[in-house]
Chain A
Protein backbone atom coordinates (compact mmCIF):
# COMPACT_ATOMS: atom_id res chain seq x y z
CA UNK A 1 0.00 0.00 0.00
CA UNK A 2 1.16 3.51 -0.85
CA UNK A 3 2.59 5.38 2.19
CA UNK A 4 0.38 8.42 1.64
CA UNK A 5 -2.73 6.33 1.19
CA UNK A 6 -2.00 4.60 4.49
CA UNK A 7 -1.56 8.00 6.16
CA UNK A 8 -4.87 9.17 4.70
CA UNK A 9 -6.68 6.04 5.86
CA UNK A 10 -5.28 6.51 9.36
CA UNK A 11 -6.31 10.18 9.48
CA UNK A 12 -9.73 9.30 8.14
CA UNK A 13 -10.19 6.77 10.96
CA UNK A 14 -8.78 9.25 13.52
CA UNK A 15 -11.12 12.00 12.26
CA UNK A 16 -14.21 9.79 12.32
CA UNK A 17 -13.36 8.44 15.78
CA UNK A 18 -12.73 11.91 17.21
CA UNK A 19 -15.91 13.41 15.67
CA UNK A 20 -17.92 10.47 16.96
CA UNK A 21 -16.30 10.93 20.37
CA UNK A 22 -17.26 14.63 20.40
CA UNK A 23 -20.94 13.70 19.98
CA UNK A 24 -21.18 11.04 22.65
CA UNK A 25 -19.26 12.70 25.45
CA UNK A 26 -19.23 15.70 27.78
CA UNK A 27 -19.06 19.20 26.35
CA UNK A 28 -15.45 19.67 27.49
CA UNK A 29 -14.34 17.07 24.94
CA UNK A 30 -16.13 18.72 22.01
CA UNK A 31 -13.47 21.31 21.18
CA UNK A 32 -10.66 18.80 21.56
CA UNK A 33 -12.38 16.15 19.45
CA UNK A 34 -13.57 18.64 16.81
CA UNK A 35 -10.03 20.04 16.57
CA UNK A 36 -8.58 16.60 15.93
CA UNK A 37 -11.42 15.79 13.58
CA UNK A 38 -10.65 18.85 11.47
CA UNK A 39 -7.14 17.54 10.74
CA UNK A 40 -8.72 15.04 8.42
CA UNK A 41 -10.10 17.88 6.28
CA UNK A 42 -6.72 19.57 6.25
CA UNK A 43 -5.11 16.31 5.20
CA UNK A 44 -7.74 15.06 2.78
CA UNK A 45 -8.50 18.26 0.94
CA UNK A 46 -5.11 18.63 -0.83
CA UNK A 47 -5.31 15.01 -1.90
CA UNK A 48 -8.83 15.49 -3.18
CA UNK A 49 -8.05 18.58 -5.23
CA UNK A 50 -7.71 16.74 -8.54
CA UNK A 51 -11.18 15.27 -8.04
CA UNK A 52 -12.93 18.54 -7.17
CA UNK A 53 -14.20 20.01 -10.46
CA UNK A 54 -15.05 23.64 -11.00
CA UNK A 55 -13.22 25.05 -7.99
CA UNK A 56 -10.05 27.13 -8.17
CA UNK A 57 -7.42 24.67 -7.01
CA UNK A 58 -5.15 27.18 -5.17
CA UNK A 59 -8.14 28.39 -3.11
CA UNK A 60 -8.98 24.82 -2.06
CA UNK A 61 -5.35 24.27 -1.12
CA UNK A 62 -5.31 27.55 0.85
CA UNK A 63 -8.50 26.47 2.64
CA UNK A 64 -6.99 23.10 3.57
CA UNK A 65 -4.07 24.87 5.26
CA UNK A 66 -6.41 27.33 6.99
CA UNK A 67 -8.63 24.51 8.25
CA UNK A 68 -5.45 22.85 9.53
CA UNK A 69 -4.65 26.03 11.46
CA UNK A 70 -8.21 26.25 12.78
CA UNK A 71 -8.01 22.63 13.93
CA UNK A 72 -4.97 23.20 16.19
CA UNK A 73 -6.51 26.43 17.51
CA UNK A 74 -9.81 24.71 18.32
CA UNK A 75 -8.19 21.75 20.08
CA UNK A 76 -5.81 24.03 22.00
CA UNK A 77 -8.83 26.01 23.12
CA UNK A 78 -10.37 22.71 24.25
CA UNK A 79 -7.30 21.80 26.29
CA UNK A 80 -7.28 25.27 27.84
CA UNK A 81 -10.92 24.79 28.83
CA UNK A 82 -10.12 21.42 30.33
CA UNK A 83 -7.19 22.91 32.23
CA UNK A 84 -9.46 25.66 33.63
CA UNK A 85 -11.97 23.00 34.60
CA UNK A 86 -9.31 20.90 36.32
CA UNK A 87 -8.24 23.96 38.34
CA UNK A 88 -11.59 25.60 39.12
CA UNK A 89 -14.01 22.69 38.63
CA UNK A 90 -16.17 25.15 36.71
CA UNK A 91 -17.38 24.55 33.19
CA UNK A 92 -19.72 26.42 30.90
CA UNK A 93 -21.03 26.44 27.34
CA UNK A 94 -22.68 23.85 25.12
CA UNK A 95 -21.73 21.58 22.29
CA UNK A 96 -23.87 23.39 19.75
CA UNK A 97 -21.90 26.59 20.27
CA UNK A 98 -18.60 24.78 19.64
CA UNK A 99 -19.84 23.28 16.37
CA UNK A 100 -21.43 26.55 15.24
CA UNK A 101 -18.38 28.66 16.15
CA UNK A 102 -16.07 26.28 14.30
CA UNK A 103 -18.32 26.25 11.24
CA UNK A 104 -18.56 30.04 11.47
CA UNK A 105 -14.77 30.49 11.53
CA UNK A 106 -14.37 28.09 8.59
CA UNK A 107 -17.11 29.90 6.65
CA UNK A 108 -15.44 33.27 7.35
CA UNK A 109 -12.15 31.82 6.13
CA UNK A 110 -13.80 30.60 2.94
CA UNK A 111 -15.20 34.07 2.34
CA UNK A 112 -11.78 35.57 3.08
CA UNK A 113 -10.06 33.27 0.60
CA UNK A 114 -12.67 33.83 -2.13
CA UNK A 115 -12.83 37.64 -1.85
CA UNK A 116 -9.06 37.91 -2.12
CA UNK A 117 -6.92 37.35 -5.22
CA UNK A 118 -6.23 33.80 -6.27
CA UNK A 119 -3.36 32.62 -4.05
CA UNK A 120 -0.13 32.05 -5.95
CA UNK A 121 2.58 29.61 -4.90
CA UNK A 122 4.27 32.10 -2.55
CA UNK A 123 0.97 32.90 -0.81
CA UNK A 124 0.22 29.22 -0.39
CA UNK A 125 3.74 28.62 0.98
CA UNK A 126 3.25 31.40 3.53
CA UNK A 127 -0.17 30.09 4.59
CA UNK A 128 1.40 26.64 4.93
CA UNK A 129 4.26 28.09 7.03
CA UNK A 130 1.73 29.89 9.24
CA UNK A 131 -0.18 26.65 9.69
CA UNK A 132 2.91 24.63 10.59
CA UNK A 133 4.21 27.35 12.91
CA UNK A 134 0.92 27.30 14.79
CA UNK A 135 1.05 23.52 15.01
CA UNK A 136 4.65 23.43 16.22
CA UNK A 137 4.35 26.03 18.94
CA UNK A 138 0.84 25.12 20.07
CA UNK A 139 1.92 21.46 20.24
CA UNK A 140 4.64 22.43 22.71
CA UNK A 141 2.22 24.59 24.71
CA UNK A 142 -0.36 21.82 24.67
CA UNK A 143 2.16 19.26 25.93
CA UNK A 144 2.83 21.51 28.94
CA UNK A 145 -0.88 22.19 29.44
CA UNK A 146 -1.75 18.49 29.26
CA UNK A 147 1.03 17.70 31.74
CA UNK A 148 -0.61 20.16 34.16
CA UNK A 149 -4.07 18.73 33.51
CA UNK A 150 -2.70 15.26 34.22
CA UNK A 151 -1.21 16.48 37.51
CA UNK A 152 -4.61 17.87 38.53
CA UNK A 153 -6.65 14.78 37.68
CA UNK A 154 -3.90 12.21 38.19
CA UNK A 155 -5.94 9.42 39.80
CA UNK A 156 -9.19 9.87 37.85
CA UNK A 157 -10.40 7.28 35.30
CA UNK A 158 -9.56 9.59 32.37
CA UNK A 159 -6.08 10.62 33.51
CA UNK A 160 -4.10 8.09 31.44
CA UNK A 161 -5.85 9.38 28.34
CA UNK A 162 -3.98 12.65 28.82
CA UNK A 163 -0.65 10.83 28.80
CA UNK A 164 -1.73 9.48 25.44
CA UNK A 165 -2.38 13.06 24.29
CA UNK A 166 1.17 14.03 25.27
CA UNK A 167 2.42 11.23 23.03
CA UNK A 168 0.09 12.46 20.25
CA UNK A 169 1.48 15.99 20.45
CA UNK A 170 5.06 14.72 20.51
CA UNK A 171 4.41 12.97 17.18
CA UNK A 172 2.58 16.02 15.83
CA UNK A 173 5.53 18.18 16.86
CA UNK A 174 7.86 15.82 15.02
CA UNK A 175 5.64 15.82 11.95
CA UNK A 176 4.84 19.53 11.74
CA UNK A 177 8.24 20.60 13.05
CA UNK A 178 10.05 18.73 10.30
CA UNK A 179 7.62 20.12 7.69
CA UNK A 180 8.27 23.64 8.99
CA UNK A 181 11.99 22.96 8.84
CA UNK A 182 11.65 21.76 5.23
CA UNK A 183 9.70 24.87 4.30
CA UNK A 184 11.87 27.37 6.16
CA UNK A 185 15.12 25.91 4.74
CA UNK A 186 13.51 25.39 1.36
CA UNK A 187 14.29 21.67 1.16
CA UNK A 188 11.41 21.43 -1.31
CA UNK A 189 13.90 22.70 -3.88
CA UNK A 190 15.80 19.65 -5.23
CA UNK A 191 19.00 21.69 -5.51
CA UNK A 192 18.93 22.54 -1.83
CA UNK A 193 18.10 18.94 -1.04
CA UNK A 194 21.07 17.74 -3.02
CA UNK A 195 23.33 20.25 -1.26
CA UNK A 196 22.31 18.91 2.18
CA UNK A 197 21.30 15.30 1.50
CA UNK A 198 21.38 14.08 5.13
CA UNK A 199 19.28 16.92 6.49
CA UNK A 200 16.93 16.64 3.56
CA UNK A 201 16.52 12.89 4.05
CA UNK A 202 16.19 13.14 7.82
CA UNK A 203 13.58 15.89 7.69
CA UNK A 204 11.62 13.98 5.04
CA UNK A 205 11.69 10.80 7.15
CA UNK A 206 10.73 12.69 10.31
CA UNK A 207 7.83 14.35 8.52
CA UNK A 208 6.50 11.09 7.07
CA UNK A 209 7.02 9.03 10.22
CA UNK A 210 5.64 11.84 12.40
CA UNK A 211 2.57 12.13 10.20
CA UNK A 212 2.04 8.37 10.33
CA UNK A 213 2.53 8.08 14.08
CA UNK A 214 0.37 11.16 14.74
CA UNK A 215 -2.45 9.63 12.70
CA UNK A 216 -2.10 6.28 14.50
CA UNK A 217 -1.85 7.87 17.93
CA UNK A 218 -4.81 10.24 17.44
CA UNK A 219 -7.10 7.37 16.40
CA UNK A 220 -5.67 5.14 19.11
CA UNK A 221 -5.99 7.83 21.76
CA UNK A 222 -9.65 8.47 21.05
CA UNK A 223 -10.40 4.75 21.00
CA UNK A 224 -8.55 4.47 24.33
CA UNK A 225 -10.49 7.46 25.72
CA UNK A 226 -13.74 5.88 24.57
CA UNK A 227 -12.73 2.76 26.48
CA UNK A 228 -11.81 4.76 29.59
CA UNK A 229 -15.08 6.66 29.42
CA UNK A 230 -17.27 3.60 28.95
Chain B
Protein backbone atom coordinates (compact mmCIF):
# COMPACT_ATOMS: atom_id res chain seq x y z
CA UNK B 1 0.00 0.00 0.00
CA UNK B 2 1.45 3.33 -1.03
CA UNK B 3 0.60 5.97 1.53
CA UNK B 4 0.57 9.46 0.11
CA UNK B 5 -1.40 12.53 1.04
CA UNK B 6 -4.11 13.35 -1.43
CA UNK B 7 -2.82 16.73 -2.63
CA UNK B 8 -5.08 19.11 -4.48
CA UNK B 9 -7.61 17.00 -6.33
CA UNK B 10 -8.00 17.55 -10.07
CA UNK B 11 -10.19 14.53 -10.76
CA UNK B 12 -11.31 11.90 -8.30
CA UNK B 13 -12.89 8.45 -8.48
CA UNK B 14 -12.57 7.95 -12.23
CA UNK B 15 -12.78 4.45 -13.66
CA UNK B 16 -9.46 4.26 -15.57
CA UNK B 17 -10.77 1.26 -17.51
CA UNK B 18 -13.10 3.63 -19.35
CA UNK B 19 -10.37 6.12 -20.19
CA UNK B 20 -7.92 5.94 -23.06
CA UNK B 21 -4.92 6.24 -20.79
CA UNK B 22 -2.23 6.92 -23.44
CA UNK B 23 -4.36 9.86 -24.64
CA UNK B 24 -4.93 11.06 -21.09
CA UNK B 25 -1.23 10.83 -20.24
CA UNK B 26 -0.41 12.76 -23.39
CA UNK B 27 -2.93 15.46 -22.48
CA UNK B 28 -1.30 15.85 -19.07
CA UNK B 29 2.05 16.03 -20.84
CA UNK B 30 0.82 18.74 -23.17
CA UNK B 31 -0.82 20.62 -20.31
CA UNK B 32 2.47 20.73 -18.39
CA UNK B 33 0.81 19.00 -15.52
CA UNK B 34 2.63 18.64 -12.22
CA UNK B 35 1.28 16.24 -9.68
CA UNK B 36 0.49 12.59 -9.48
CA UNK B 37 -2.03 10.02 -10.63
CA UNK B 38 -3.02 7.36 -8.19
CA UNK B 39 -4.50 4.11 -9.49
CA UNK B 40 -6.10 1.96 -6.81
CA UNK B 41 -6.58 -1.42 -8.45
CA UNK B 42 -7.65 -4.82 -7.23
CA UNK B 43 -4.06 -5.99 -7.21
CA UNK B 44 -2.23 -2.98 -5.87
CA UNK B 45 -1.60 0.75 -6.21
CA UNK B 46 0.01 2.51 -9.15
CA UNK B 47 1.48 5.99 -9.00
CA UNK B 48 2.46 8.14 -11.99
CA UNK B 49 4.26 11.37 -11.09
CA UNK B 50 4.38 14.33 -13.48
CA UNK B 51 6.67 17.28 -13.25
CA UNK B 52 5.91 20.11 -15.64
CA UNK B 53 4.39 17.74 -18.14
CA UNK B 54 7.15 15.13 -17.87
CA UNK B 55 6.25 11.71 -16.59
CA UNK B 56 9.15 11.34 -14.21
CA UNK B 57 8.13 8.36 -12.22
CA UNK B 58 5.98 5.25 -12.47
CA UNK B 59 5.54 2.78 -9.67
CA UNK B 60 3.22 -0.14 -9.06
CA UNK B 61 3.10 -1.94 -5.75
CA UNK B 62 0.86 -4.83 -4.86
CA UNK B 63 1.53 -7.62 -2.38
CA UNK B 64 5.14 -8.59 -2.83
CA UNK B 65 5.24 -7.19 -6.34
CA UNK B 66 6.95 -3.86 -7.04
CA UNK B 67 7.42 -2.58 -10.58
CA UNK B 68 8.86 0.70 -11.75
CA UNK B 69 9.08 2.66 -15.00
CA UNK B 70 7.73 0.89 -18.15
CA UNK B 71 6.80 -2.27 -16.30
CA UNK B 72 4.83 -0.20 -13.85
CA UNK B 73 3.07 1.67 -16.68
CA UNK B 74 2.20 -1.64 -18.32
CA UNK B 75 0.86 -3.03 -15.09
CA UNK B 76 -1.14 0.13 -14.38
CA UNK B 77 -2.69 -0.13 -17.86
CA UNK B 78 -3.44 -3.81 -17.41
CA UNK B 79 -5.01 -3.45 -13.98
CA UNK B 80 -7.01 -0.43 -15.11
CA UNK B 81 -8.42 -2.35 -18.06
CA UNK B 82 -9.12 -5.37 -15.88
CA UNK B 83 -11.75 -3.31 -14.05
CA UNK B 84 -12.48 -2.44 -10.46
CA UNK B 85 -9.83 0.29 -10.42
CA UNK B 86 -10.11 3.94 -9.34
CA UNK B 87 -8.07 6.84 -10.61
CA UNK B 88 -7.45 10.00 -8.64
CA UNK B 89 -5.41 12.91 -10.00
CA UNK B 90 -3.79 15.42 -7.65
CA UNK B 91 -2.00 18.58 -8.50
CA UNK B 92 1.24 19.33 -6.63
CA UNK B 93 4.08 21.81 -6.82
CA UNK B 94 7.12 20.74 -8.74
CA UNK B 95 9.17 20.53 -5.56
CA UNK B 96 6.59 18.33 -3.93
CA UNK B 97 6.29 16.13 -6.98
CA UNK B 98 10.05 15.61 -6.96
CA UNK B 99 10.01 14.95 -3.24
CA UNK B 100 7.29 12.36 -3.61
CA UNK B 101 9.20 10.73 -6.41
CA UNK B 102 12.32 10.63 -4.23
CA UNK B 103 10.27 9.23 -1.39
CA UNK B 104 8.65 6.47 -3.44
CA UNK B 105 11.99 5.27 -4.72
CA UNK B 106 13.72 5.57 -1.37
CA UNK B 107 14.16 3.07 1.42
CA UNK B 108 12.18 2.49 4.57
CA UNK B 109 14.27 2.83 7.72
CA UNK B 110 11.48 2.22 10.19
CA UNK B 111 7.96 1.15 9.41
CA UNK B 112 4.69 1.30 11.33
CA UNK B 113 5.98 2.69 14.57
CA UNK B 114 3.20 3.66 16.97
CA UNK B 115 3.41 7.42 17.48
CA UNK B 116 2.21 7.06 21.08
CA UNK B 117 5.08 4.74 21.92
CA UNK B 118 7.69 6.83 20.18
CA UNK B 119 9.90 9.60 21.54
CA UNK B 120 9.43 11.97 18.61
CA UNK B 121 11.99 14.43 19.90
CA UNK B 122 14.64 11.75 20.12
CA UNK B 123 13.74 10.56 16.61
CA UNK B 124 14.03 14.04 15.13
CA UNK B 125 17.32 14.46 16.95
CA UNK B 126 18.55 11.21 15.43
CA UNK B 127 17.52 12.34 11.92
CA UNK B 128 19.44 15.53 12.40
CA UNK B 129 22.42 13.73 13.82
CA UNK B 130 22.49 11.20 10.95
CA UNK B 131 21.80 13.95 8.41
CA UNK B 132 19.00 11.96 6.89
CA UNK B 133 17.46 13.07 3.62
CA UNK B 134 13.98 11.70 3.32
CA UNK B 135 10.75 12.02 5.16
CA UNK B 136 8.63 11.08 8.10
CA UNK B 137 5.29 9.66 7.10
CA UNK B 138 2.62 9.98 9.74
CA UNK B 139 -0.62 8.22 8.98
CA UNK B 140 -3.86 6.77 10.20
CA UNK B 141 -6.33 4.66 8.29
CA UNK B 142 -7.62 7.63 6.28
CA UNK B 143 -5.15 10.44 6.63
CA UNK B 144 -1.52 10.85 5.68
CA UNK B 145 1.01 13.62 6.28
CA UNK B 146 4.63 13.82 5.17
CA UNK B 147 7.49 15.82 6.72
CA UNK B 148 10.40 16.15 4.33
CA UNK B 149 13.99 16.47 5.51
CA UNK B 150 17.17 17.30 3.72
CA UNK B 151 20.35 16.30 5.48
CA UNK B 152 18.59 16.27 8.78
CA UNK B 153 16.86 19.64 8.39
CA UNK B 154 13.11 19.86 7.85
CA UNK B 155 12.11 21.13 4.39
CA UNK B 156 8.37 21.33 4.79
CA UNK B 157 5.10 19.48 5.31
CA UNK B 158 2.73 17.79 2.94
CA UNK B 159 -0.73 16.71 3.94
CA UNK B 160 -4.11 16.04 2.34
CA UNK B 161 -5.17 19.02 0.24
CA UNK B 162 -1.69 20.60 -0.07
CA UNK B 163 -0.25 21.51 -3.43
CA UNK B 164 3.07 22.73 -2.11
CA UNK B 165 5.39 22.06 0.75
CA UNK B 166 3.97 23.91 3.70
CA UNK B 167 5.99 25.48 6.36
CA UNK B 168 3.51 25.07 9.21
CA UNK B 169 3.38 21.82 11.08
CA UNK B 170 -0.19 22.17 12.34
CA UNK B 171 -2.02 19.98 9.83
CA UNK B 172 0.67 17.38 9.67
CA UNK B 173 1.09 17.09 13.36
CA UNK B 174 -2.68 16.88 13.86
CA UNK B 175 -2.48 13.49 12.14
CA UNK B 176 0.05 12.40 14.74
CA UNK B 177 -2.47 13.21 17.44
CA UNK B 178 -5.15 10.95 15.96
CA UNK B 179 -5.74 7.63 17.70
CA UNK B 180 -3.80 4.76 16.13
CA UNK B 181 -1.41 7.10 14.29
CA UNK B 182 1.76 5.48 13.03
CA UNK B 183 5.01 6.71 11.67
CA UNK B 184 7.40 5.50 8.94
CA UNK B 185 10.90 6.86 8.44
CA UNK B 186 11.99 6.86 4.80
CA UNK B 187 15.20 7.93 3.11
CA UNK B 188 15.39 9.18 -0.45
CA UNK B 189 18.29 9.04 -2.84
CA UNK B 190 17.17 10.74 -5.99
CA UNK B 191 16.58 14.43 -5.93
CA UNK B 192 18.23 15.91 -8.99
CA UNK B 193 15.60 17.24 -11.35
CA UNK B 194 17.99 17.08 -14.25
CA UNK B 195 18.42 13.37 -13.86
CA UNK B 196 14.70 12.77 -14.29
CA UNK B 197 13.93 11.31 -17.71
CA UNK B 198 10.51 11.73 -19.29
CA UNK B 199 9.09 8.26 -19.52
CA UNK B 200 6.57 9.42 -22.09
CA UNK B 201 9.37 10.39 -24.40
CA UNK B 202 11.03 7.03 -24.26
CA UNK B 203 8.01 4.73 -23.88
CA UNK B 204 5.54 3.90 -26.59
CA UNK B 205 2.49 4.12 -24.36
CA UNK B 206 0.13 3.27 -27.22
CA UNK B 207 1.97 -0.01 -27.78
CA UNK B 208 2.01 -0.71 -24.04
CA UNK B 209 -1.71 0.10 -23.94
CA UNK B 210 -2.44 -2.29 -26.81
CA UNK B 211 -0.37 -4.98 -25.19
CA UNK B 212 -2.23 -4.43 -21.95
CA UNK B 213 -5.54 -4.63 -23.79
CA UNK B 214 -4.47 -7.95 -25.30
CA UNK B 215 -3.26 -9.23 -21.95
CA UNK B 216 -6.53 -8.24 -20.28
CA UNK B 217 -8.55 -9.79 -23.10
CA UNK B 218 -6.51 -12.97 -22.71
CA UNK B 219 -7.02 -12.89 -18.98
CA UNK B 220 -10.73 -12.29 -19.42
CA UNK B 221 -10.97 -15.14 -21.90
CA UNK B 222 -9.08 -17.42 -19.55
CA UNK B 223 -11.35 -16.36 -16.71
CA UNK B 224 -14.45 -16.96 -18.80
CA UNK B 225 -13.11 -20.32 -19.93
CA UNK B 226 -12.36 -21.20 -16.35
CA UNK B 227 -15.84 -20.11 -15.32
CA UNK B 228 -17.34 -22.16 -18.15
CA UNK B 229 -15.20 -25.13 -17.13
CA UNK B 230 -16.28 -24.77 -13.54
CA UNK B 231 -19.90 -24.55 -14.63
CA UNK B 232 -19.43 -27.58 -16.86
CA UNK B 233 -17.79 -29.51 -14.05
CA UNK B 234 -20.59 -28.57 -11.69
CA UNK B 235 -23.15 -29.66 -14.26
CA UNK B 236 -21.21 -32.88 -14.83
CA UNK B 237 -21.20 -33.56 -11.12
CA UNK B 238 -24.93 -32.83 -10.95
CA UNK B 239 -25.49 -35.08 -13.97
CA UNK B 240 -23.52 -37.88 -12.33
CA UNK B 241 -25.55 -37.55 -9.15
CA UNK B 242 -28.79 -37.69 -11.14
CA UNK B 243 -27.67 -40.70 -13.18
CA UNK B 244 -26.46 -42.41 -10.02
CA UNK B 245 -29.83 -41.92 -8.38
CA UNK B 246 -31.78 -43.07 -11.45
CA UNK B 247 -29.57 -46.13 -11.89
CA UNK B 248 -29.88 -46.99 -8.22
CA UNK B 249 -33.68 -46.80 -8.28
CA UNK B 250 -33.87 -48.75 -11.56
CA UNK B 251 -31.60 -51.45 -10.14
CA UNK B 252 -33.72 -51.67 -7.01
CA UNK B 253 -36.88 -52.29 -9.05
CA UNK B 254 -35.58 -54.09 -12.14
CA UNK B 255 -32.27 -55.60 -11.05
CA UNK B 256 -28.91 -55.20 -12.77
CA UNK B 257 -30.47 -54.74 -16.22
CA UNK B 258 -32.51 -51.85 -14.77
CA UNK B 259 -29.33 -49.91 -13.99
CA UNK B 260 -28.04 -50.56 -17.50
CA UNK B 261 -31.33 -49.49 -19.04
CA UNK B 262 -31.40 -46.30 -16.96
CA UNK B 263 -27.87 -45.47 -18.05
CA UNK B 264 -28.63 -46.03 -21.71
CA UNK B 265 -32.00 -44.29 -21.76
CA UNK B 266 -30.56 -41.33 -19.86
CA UNK B 267 -27.86 -40.92 -22.51
CA UNK B 268 -30.53 -41.05 -25.21
CA UNK B 269 -32.72 -38.52 -23.42
CA UNK B 270 -29.75 -36.23 -22.80
CA UNK B 271 -28.87 -36.42 -26.50
CA UNK B 272 -25.59 -34.57 -26.10
CA UNK B 273 -27.08 -31.70 -24.11
CA UNK B 274 -24.93 -30.56 -21.22
CA UNK B 275 -27.73 -29.63 -18.88
CA UNK B 276 -30.23 -32.03 -17.35
CA UNK B 277 -33.40 -30.04 -17.87
CA UNK B 278 -37.00 -30.90 -17.00
CA UNK B 279 -37.54 -31.84 -20.65
CA UNK B 280 -34.62 -34.28 -20.53
CA UNK B 281 -35.98 -35.88 -17.38
CA UNK B 282 -39.49 -36.14 -18.85
CA UNK B 283 -38.08 -37.79 -21.96
CA UNK B 284 -36.04 -40.13 -19.77
CA UNK B 285 -39.10 -41.17 -17.72
CA UNK B 286 -40.95 -41.91 -20.92
CA UNK B 287 -38.09 -43.95 -22.34
CA UNK B 288 -37.27 -45.91 -19.18
CA UNK B 289 -40.99 -46.57 -18.69
CA UNK B 290 -41.17 -48.20 -22.11
CA UNK B 291 -37.90 -50.11 -21.77
CA UNK B 292 -38.78 -51.34 -18.28
CA UNK B 293 -41.94 -52.98 -19.64
CA UNK B 294 -39.66 -55.58 -21.25
CA UNK B 295 -38.58 -56.89 -17.88
CA UNK B 296 -41.32 -55.83 -15.46
CA UNK B 297 -45.03 -55.25 -15.17
CA UNK B 298 -46.89 -51.92 -15.10
CA UNK B 299 -47.16 -51.76 -11.30
CA UNK B 300 -43.40 -52.27 -10.85
CA UNK B 301 -42.67 -49.73 -13.59
CA UNK B 302 -45.07 -47.23 -12.01
CA UNK B 303 -43.51 -47.67 -8.56
CA UNK B 304 -40.03 -47.25 -10.07
CA UNK B 305 -40.98 -44.05 -11.90
CA UNK B 306 -42.57 -42.62 -8.75
CA UNK B 307 -39.42 -43.43 -6.76
CA UNK B 308 -37.27 -41.80 -9.44
CA UNK B 309 -39.36 -38.63 -9.54
CA UNK B 310 -39.37 -38.38 -5.76
CA UNK B 311 -35.61 -38.92 -5.58
CA UNK B 312 -34.87 -36.36 -8.31
CA UNK B 313 -37.13 -33.81 -6.64
CA UNK B 314 -35.28 -34.26 -3.34
CA UNK B 315 -31.88 -34.17 -5.07
CA UNK B 316 -32.61 -31.00 -6.99
CA UNK B 317 -34.00 -29.34 -3.88
CA UNK B 318 -30.84 -30.11 -1.88
A residues engaging B (CB < 8 A)? 25-26, 28, 82, 85-86, 89, 91, 152-159, 228-230
Residue of A nearest to B297 (CB): A229
CA distance A125 to B297 in the complex (A): 43
* Closest 7 pairs between A and B when the two form their complex, measured CB to CB: A155-B255, A229-B297, A156-B255, A156-B295, A26-B293, A157-B296, A230-B297
Can you offer 6 A-B residue contacts whose CB atoms are under 8 A?
A26-B294, A91-B291, A152-B257, A153-B255, A155-B255, A230-B298
- Whether B256 and A228, one on each chain, are in contact in the complex, defined by CB atoms closer than 8 angstroms, is no
Using A156-B254, A157-B254 as known contacts, say yes or no to A85 and B294 having CB atoms under 8 A apart: yes
- Whether B295 and A153, one on each chain, are in contact in the complex, defined by CB atoms closer than 8 angstroms, is yes
Residue of B nearest to A161 (CB): B295
Residue of B nearest to A29 (CB): B294
Q: Which A residues touch B261, using CB under 8 A?
A: 89
Q: A25-B293, A154-B255, A229-B298 are in contact. List 19 more A-B contacts (CB 8 A).
A: A26-B290, A86-B257, A152-B257, A153-B255, A153-B295, A154-B256, A156-B254, A156-B255, A156-B256, A156-B296, A157-B254, A157-B255, A157-B297, A157-B300, A158-B295, A158-B296, A159-B255, A159-B295, A229-B296
For chain B, the count of residues having a C-beta within 8 Å of the partner chain is 19
Residue of B nearest to A152 (CB): B257
CA distance A25 to B258 in the complex (A): 18
**Interface residue? B105 (CB, 8 A):** no
Instruction: Give the distance to chain B from A24, nearest Cβ to Cβ, in Å.
Output: 10
Q: Which A residues touch B254, using CB under 8 A?
A: 156-157
CA distance A155 to B254 in the complex (A): 7
CA distance A85 to B260 in the complex (A): 12
Residue of A nearest to B293 (CB): A26
**Interface residue? B238 (CB, 8 A):** no
CA distance A40 to B295 in the complex (A): 26
- Chain B contacts with A in 225-255, Cβ cutoff 8 A: 253-255
Instruction: Give the distance to chain B from A174, nearest Cβ to Cβ, in Å.
Output: 29
Instruction: Give the distance to chain A from B255, nearest Cβ to Cβ, in Å.
Output: 3
Residue of A nearest to B296 (CB): A157
Residue of A nearest to B251 (CB): A155
